[in-house]
Amino acid sequence: MKKKYDVIIAGAGVAGCFAALHLPADKQILMITKKGMEECDSYLAQGGICVLKDPSDYDSFFEDTMRAGHYENRKESVDCMIRSSKGVIEELMGYGVDFARNPDGTLEFTREAAHSTNRILHHEDITGEEITTHLQAAVKKLPNVEISEYTRMVDLLCKNNRCDGIVVLDGDGELHTVFASHILLATGGIGGIYENSTNYPSLTGDSLALCLRRGIKLEHVNYVQIHPTTFYSEKKERRFLVSESVRGEGATLLDKNGERFTNELLPRDLLSQEILKQMAKDHTKYVNLNMMAITKFDIAKRFPHIVKHCLECGIDPKKEYVPVVPAQHYFMGGIHVDLNSHTSMDHLYASGETCCNGVHGKNRLASNSLLESLVFAKNAAEHMVKIDGQRAWEGRKPRYVSNLDKSLSELAAIYDLDLDSLYDTKDRDQENRQLIWDEIDRENTLMDQNAE
Ligand SMILES: Cc1cc2nc3c(=O)[nH]c(=O)nc-3n(C[C@H](O)[C@H](O)[C@H](O)COP(=O)(O)OP(=O)(O)OC[C@H]3O[C@@H](n4cnc5c(N)ncnc54)[C@H](O)[C@@H]3O)c2cc1C
């Protein structure tokens, strides 16, 4: 790892990768990941990715996104995502991403809950893996990108509302300070701070905690999405998601007596509430999902990975009900950013699930997050290039140059780093988790007070 780069990207999910792919070849980029490249939620996305398949669907796509978000979405962000969607999908196909097609060769559009029409592209039920493997492969081919796995961002180098770089702890437990003209936080969601989540446990909202420590603006930290249908298990492990598209294609939800008790296509938050109510009424730990109600195709062909997971857990969805329970799934809030994915701190950007650009409002519409991550990561890269162009024209040097050769202890004094705590990941993790929980509580209390 060098001392300085043009851009540092923390995270190698779809957001981090797409930003790297939109930076010019003459920019030196450092990309770091907390664990291995594959341990990111982008790999786990099952259902698909939305697209504006036809200009006539604009109003309906916009309205579905706003309705699911309880009309708390930022309209300009929703508009930007929808209008950019077709171009992004074409780019993905250019990288070799293979979406399902109809027998005549046209793209096949599926549907998920709260969408009023079919507008979701998918690759079997492993859309995220298909997209992420292709994007990561493309990034690995870029000679200007240095990838460092098992390298954890533990602090930001901030001074006078300006971000000069980050502090990382490498796989050998060594601390390094790394400088850059621009820093992109693409560290994903917060599922790792929950007991029951569909996310990787390593995704613990690290960027969020750093922003809280450094006074960087956050937004709606209490807007956390619970997915209504995750596979119920007695084991303490990452919850396996049974995608919304299963219900979109006709699976029904049944109570303990085998009776339907709700509209399976309600938005996620409302459906989760209905399921939790039913579980309380029935005194059960789960409700049943009836995949046998899907008769128009073979579920093992359309949902091979979901069926395989059920079989591995001893349930045959072709013959019996699948036990499902709500679990933490997605984070709508996050680090406040504008349309360029710029945070409230100079030279610091955030995109993907860690940020809040307002697309999702209070509740995310299914299959909008891969798209949102890609669109706004691209915006971040393009904005960095624009800023660099202006700086070059004005003849300005990177502002951190005078600090490049300083020792770690000198830098600690300049950037207010608590070096001892940065080495101690266990205590630091616990503190970070508490910081996020306290912020969620604070926002919930404020919301309750405003509602009174
Ligand atoms: C089970 C499941 C199913 C889903 N299905 C869908 C779907 O069908 N459609 C859809 O649109 N969305 C879906 N989503 C949501 C979507 O996958 C995510 O919102 C999206 O992939 C987030 O991408 P990201 O790049 O922001 O983060 P991620 O892909 O999670 O990547 C985070 C990256 O940050 C790195 N990182 C974290 N902390 C640090 C640190 N301190 N230092 C260095 N690196 C760090 C990680 O190592 C990782 O590389 C699903 C999510 C889950 C969990």
Same domain, 142 and 27: yes
Q: Collect all residues with Cβ–Cβ distance below 8 Å to 321 and sequence separation of at least 6.
A: 254, 288, 289, 290, 315
Helix (H) or strand (E) holding 322: strand 322-331
Q: Is the Cβ atom of 244 under 6 angstroms away from ligand 1?
A: no
CATH number at residue 201: 3.50.50.60
Asked which of 293, 327, 361 is the last residue of a domain, the reply is 327
Among 312, 327, 342, the domain-final residue is 327
Cβ-based neighbour number of residue 76 at 10 Å:
13
d(CA 408, CA 431): 23
The pTM (predicted TM-score) of the whole model is: 0.93
Cβ-based neighbours of 390, under 8 Å, separated by 6 or more:
none
* Residues 267, 189 share a domain: no
Does residue 83 sit in the same domain as residue 112?
A: yes
- Return d(Cα 384, Cα 183) in angstroms, integer: 9
Are 239 and 210 in the same domain?
no
432 domain-assigned:
no
10 C-alpha vs ligand 1 centroid, how far in Å? 12
Rg of the chain on CA atoms, in Å: 22
Helical ranges in 224-356 per DSSP H: 244-248, 268-282, 299-302, 304-312
Give, using CA atoms, the residue closest to atom 38 of ligand 1: 187
**Is residue 440 in a domain?**
no
Say how many Å lie between the CA of residue 14 and the centre of ligand 1. 7
For residue 367 and ligand 1, the question of a CB distance below 6 A is answered with yes
- Is 437 inside any structural domain? no
Is the C-beta atom of 306 inside 6 A of ligand 1? no
Cα 427 to averaged position of ligand 1 atoms, centre (Å) = 24
For residue 205, is it within any domain? yes
pLDDT tens readout for residues 304-324: 999 999 999 999 999 999 999
CA of 42 to the centre of ligand 1 (A): 4
Domain assignment present for residue 345? The answer is: yes
| CA neighbor of 195 nearest in space, from 2, 447, 433 | 433
Which residue among 1, 211, 369, 433 is best mutated to probe the pocket of ligand 1, counting the most ligand atoms within 8 A of its Cβ?
Answer: 369
Question: Cβ distance 185 to 226 under 8 Å?
Answer: no
Q: Quick one: 180 and 236 in the same domain?
A: no
Other CB atoms within a 10 A radius of the CB of residue 389 amount to 10
**Which CA distances in Å does 201 have to 191, 197, 256, 329?**
6, 8, 31, 12
Q: Residue 354 domain-assigned?
A: yes
Is 307 among the domain residues? Answer: yes
Q: For residue 188, how far is its CA from the centre of ligand 1 (angstroms)?
A: 5
Q: Given 295, 327, 359, which residue is the final one in a domain?
A: 327
Task: Give the CA distances from residue 59 to residues 85, 116, 265, 368, in Å, rounded to whole numbers and listed in that order.
Answer: 14, 11, 20, 15
Q: Which residue has the tokens 């446990």?
A: 201
Same domain, 180 and 31: yes
Q: Tell me the CATH number at 283.
A: 3.90.700.10
Whether residue 113 has its Cβ less than 6 Å from ligand 1 = no
Q: How high is the pLDDT of residue 236?
A: 81
Domain range for 247: 228-327
d(CA 184, CA 10) in angstroms, rounded, equals 6
The secondary structure of 262-289, three-state, reads: CCCCCCHHHHHHHHHHHHHHHCCCCEEE
pLDDT at 228: 93
- Residue closest via CA to ligand 1's atom 50 equals 45
**Does 198 reside within a domain?**
yes
Does residue 152's CB lie within 6 angstroms of at least one atom of ligand 1? yes
Q: Tell the residue nearest (CA) to atom 36 of ligand 1.
A: 187
Same domain membership, residue 215 and residue 359: yes
Residues recognised as catalytic: 268
Residues 313 and 344 in one domain: no
Are 209 and 337 contained in the same domain?
Answer: yes
Query: Which helix (H) or strand (E) covers residue 434, if one does?
Result: helix 425-451
| pLDDT string in tens for the chain (452-residue length) | 999 999 999 999 999 999 999 999 999 999 999 999 999 999 999 889 999 999 999 999 999 999 999 999 999 999 999 999 999 999 999 999 999 999 999 999 998 878 899 999 999 989 999 999 999 999 999 999 999 999 999 999 999 999 999 999 999 999 999 999 999 999 999 999 998 899 999 999 999 999 999 999 999 999 999 999 999 998 888 999 998 889 989 999 999 999 999 999 998 889 999 999 999 999 999 999 999 999 989 999 999 999 999 999 999 999 999 999 999 999 999 999 999 999 999 999 999 999 999 999 999 998 999 999 999 999 999 999 999 888 877 777 777 888 999 999 999 999 999 998 998 888 999 999 999 999 999 999 998 888 87
* Residue 54 and residue 131 in one domain: yes
SS3 percent helix, strand, coil of the chain, rounded to 5, is 40, 20, 40
What's the token pair of residue 384? Answer: 């960095």
How far, rounded to the nearest angstrom, does the alpha carbon of residue 63 sit from its chain's CA centroid?
Answer: 22
Our count of domains for the chain comes to 2
Residues 322 and 289 in one domain: yes
Residue 290 and residue 195 in one domain: no
